Amino acid sequence: MADDKPNCKVVLANNIAKSLLEEVHTGLKKIDRKPHLVGFLSSADPAARVYAEWTGKTCRENGFAFTLREVDRELLEDALLDANTDTAVDGIIVYYPIFGSRQDQYLQQIVSLNKDVEGLSHRYIFNMYQNIRFLDPESTKKSILPCTPLAVIKILEYLRIYNTILPYGNRLHGRHITVINRSEVVGRPLAALLANDGAHVYSVDIDDVQEFTRGVGLRKRRHEVVEKPGWTVENCLPISDVVISGVPGDKYKVPLHLLKPGAVCVNFSSERNFAPEVKEKASIYVPAIGKVTIVVLLRNLLMRQKRRS
């Protein structure tokens, strides 16, 4: 509490990952067989290989079995179908981009629902947007959520942005959140998840701003999207309690002068979307999320495994 240093809590992904890993380790003890994740590498992108190696390392360090299968991309579909029916395989992860086209989306639907730990199957994506949380009417089998958006959710839970005094499903009621990036992989599903949990979300893309909400008083069962013509970050940032940014590349920086004092800032870009001066204004700053994403993957795998046993 000196008179010259700002008070901003910088929370590293590693610490959040540790707390999630405890939950994973507890879950592991309850099942008899070590879960087996198989990764398929058919991508020429060096980042894909790095991610594959990183998955393997994290699996082995935490009591999971991991096999990497390097497959010619023309043979990948058959290899996935084999893995789908192979009882020795508990979960499947595929490293993209492969064709870098719509064919990649086609391949994502090849992995069977029971082995998809990334949450990319249409059924899971549909449930996510529709705010349907279980696969069965008895609400015993949880629907899987995509890893990166779920990692952000887990981070906001860790940071107590989710208020546990509110009922499950509404715990972001009253939070105003800006998400910068509206990709189909992270930005848009994240905005939908946050709004489905009760937040008032401003989804910012290079072209426009959209508002994702469940309406005043959260009357709607799931979010709806409204265009905000003429809006930019100039309108969103000053009214946002939480700012989540994931613009690829090292050029984009969130304009810090627009931040509401004491905002919570989370960066999910591989580059830093927030200049270091964010600490002058934010109450909490999470500079990177990668380590949480990989633990969320293990958590999804464990959920699949528990369902099978």
236 is catalytic: no
DSSP letter string, 241-295: SEEEE--SSSS----GGGSPTT-EEEE-SSS-SS-GGGGGT-SEEE---HHHHHH
Question: Of 8, 59, 147, 236, which one is the catalytic site residue?
Answer: 147
Q: What SS3 state is found at 67? A: strand
Q: What is the DSSP-derived secondary structure letter of residue 224?
A: E
Q: What SS3 state is found at 106? A: helix
The 10 Å Cβ neighbour count of residue 34 is 12
Q: Which distant-in-sequence residues (6+ apart) come within 8 Å of 147 by Cβ?
A: 117, 118, 119, 293, 294, 296, 297, 300
**What is the nearest approach in angstroms of a copy of itself to the Cβ of residue 286?**
11
HEC secondary structure over 23-42: HHHHHHHCCCCCCEEEEEEC
Q: Which residues bind a copy of itself (CB under 8 A)?
A: 1-9, 11, 158-160, 163-167, 169-170, 173-176, 198, 200, 216-221, 239, 241, 260-264, 279-284
Residue (of 71, 62, 67, 58) closest to 92 by Cα position: 67
**What is the nearest approach in angstroms of a copy of itself to the Cβ of residue 217?**
3
Cα Rg, the chain, nearest whole Å = 20
Which residues does the annotation mark as catalytic? 147
